[in-house]
Chain A
């Protein structure tokens, strides 16, 4: 009885999660008539399928050219994530292994300072970021947005990696040094390969944030640079082309679904064992 209830709960939850994707998938193959003609889900039976929605993503009528925002999103997210992970990992290793002291400021204060960056609501940060990028001449540029994302992602990377490095016995670094490694070699050759699960988790968080961010992309870029979430939302005008909107939404979530499958496989193989506590 209990297991039946469990299955029912799982099926209902799956339906809740998958239904919007299925809805978007069917809608992306509809035309204006198909969308306004009531709820229909099966092609050829409920509606006449059309590729107009998908064509519109590549400069077709009523749509957008999705390639440029896609590439912009890809460049900004991957660059910001990479920089954040590299800097965050190095900073986290330092904070985990060495003691810093400047007056009353100690390691725990520095870590809290990193985390505190994320306590403030984004709207508070938007105006300072806008003014700074304007001052630097980096408004509406990919570099400007990458810098902002690095500032936002670095605390996440540092936070996750400090916690992870704290879990790697310090004696491993010492052993490597006694085996002839300099402190950096010990980090690079021994600690880092053993920290891949933590790096993967931190990277996943960074990529998801960078790829999904709408707010900063919307406030700090206009025409020269346009990220995918902004491009997709821009389709929502007085007459919303639901078929284009659905196709572009599917295209934009596709990389995250791929990441989810990849991470799920790693989890099931135990690669991330101990990485998430």
Chain B
């Protein structure tokens, strides 16, 4: 293991930003940290970078504690959400800055900067000031400056969040290639977008309120979310969670709506549960199923998201294509029982059964 964080605590004005966080990151790996806004992702990066002092806990790199080193001695590179470059320097000098600061011979500086410029596709823009570039190009400069150093730890704090949708998709592809070329270092990538986390990371850490909720491969986190919070964070739109009772092979929602429990839920003890289902697994049904009222719907490209208020909780349905759904109209929801997740009814709702799990 290259980077080990142990029981990090960091509070500001009595509010815990890191709450006993422990994690380890392997050398040569790309870990995405997924969490909603204010989950503590940026604070975690700033703590690793030495830009924010932790209250307690230890940070080790290859067995050496580095938590007390100042930021300029940590060998950590970072790319921010905002396109942060040095406005008075041109693209070449921006990227060369950290190398010149380390007094590398100018020949090496030139060779490394030109190589990284070509990697990020900005060879023709070396003489321009950052202000003369587009947002995507500015962020490429910031990434190039972080990459050129071959830093031991590379931190990317939602680097694509301020770009438009198309550019974000394009750069996401490019970033994946560029970041995996950092084979020696540890790369940590913050994001609020589940799709981005799944696509980029070898491993995902799900954070919420300064704590790690789950760590695992993208498939593990997506298929087996540790609890209802994780299920909400790793699904976009969030997974619908409905309260109900399992009783003699049937799922009974308050108000008398019943579903036959599928095989993976049948051997769970009778009692109260929270049942989760993804937006793509819910369909409208004519006069049957779970009754609800449409609170609002939104058309996003080729999909329509319908938000429905039910007696058992709010549900989100994702329909293929463009559908006209009137706000306030009554609707019945049909759930695929075999796609239901069962979570504990108490606490954070630990996962008890996922689709395909526990079947004979």
Question: Which A residues have a C-beta under 8 Å from some C-beta of B?
Answer: 169, 171-172, 174-182, 190, 193-194
Contact = CB atoms under 8 A, between A and B. Distances in A.
Contacts of B51: 174, 177-178
A266 to B, nearest CB: 15
B241 to A, nearest CB: 37
B78 interface: yes
Contacts of B74: 178
B79 to A, nearest CB: 9
Nearest to B52: A174
A177, A178, A180, A182 — which one has the most chain B CB atoms within 10 A of its CB? Answer: A178
Given A177-B72, A178-B72, A180-B98, A169 B49 contact: no
17 contacts: A169-B82, A171-B84, A172-B86, A172-B87, A178-B51, A178-B72, A178-B77, A179-B72, A179-B97, A179-B149, A180-B98, A181-B72, A181-B101, A182-B72, A190-B86, A190-B88, A193-B88
B84 A172 contact: yes
Contacts of B70: 177, 182
Contact of B88 (A175, A177, A194): A194
Contacts of A190: 86, 88
Contacts of B279: none
Given A180-B98, A194-B87, 6 more contacts: A171-B82, A172-B84, A178-B72, A178-B77, A179-B145, A190-B86
B51, B71, B87, B101 — which one has the most chain A CB atoms within 10 A of its CB? Answer: B71
Contact of B71 (A169, A172, A178): A178
A242 to B, nearest CB: 50
B78 A175 contact: yes
A194 B87 CA distance: 7
B158 to A, nearest CB: 13
B101 A194 contact: no
A163 to B, nearest CB: 18
Contacts of A169: 82, 84
A190 B87 CA distance: 9
B102 interface: yes
Nearest to B157: A171
B204 to A, nearest CB: 25
A76 B101 CA distance: 38
A41 to B, nearest CB: 49
A62 B43 CA distance: 74
Given A169-B82, A171-B82, A178 B49 contact: yes
Contacts of A182: 70, 72
B335 interface: no
B86 A174 contact: no
Contacts of A171: 80, 82, 84
Interface string B79-101: 01010101110000000011001
B246 interface: no
B316 interface: no
A234 B207 CA distance: 76
Contacts of A172: 84, 86-87
B147 interface: no
Contacts of A174: 49, 51, 71, 78
A244 to B, nearest CB: 48
A179 B98 contact: yes
Given A174-B71, A194-B86, A180 B101 contact: yes
Contacts of B97: 179
Contacts of B277: none
B152 to A, nearest CB: 12
B76 interface: yes
B86 A177 contact: no
Contacts of A194: 86-88
B97 to A, nearest CB: 6
Nearest to B80: A171
A182 B71 CA distance: 8
Nearest to B84: A171
A230 to B, nearest CB: 42
B80 A177 contact: no
Contacts of B72: 177-182
B77, B84, B145, B149 — which one has the most chain A CB atoms within 10 A of its CB? Answer: B84
B76 to A, nearest CB: 6
Interface in B277-315: none
A193 B51 CA distance: 22
B157 to A, nearest CB: 10
Nearest to A190: B86
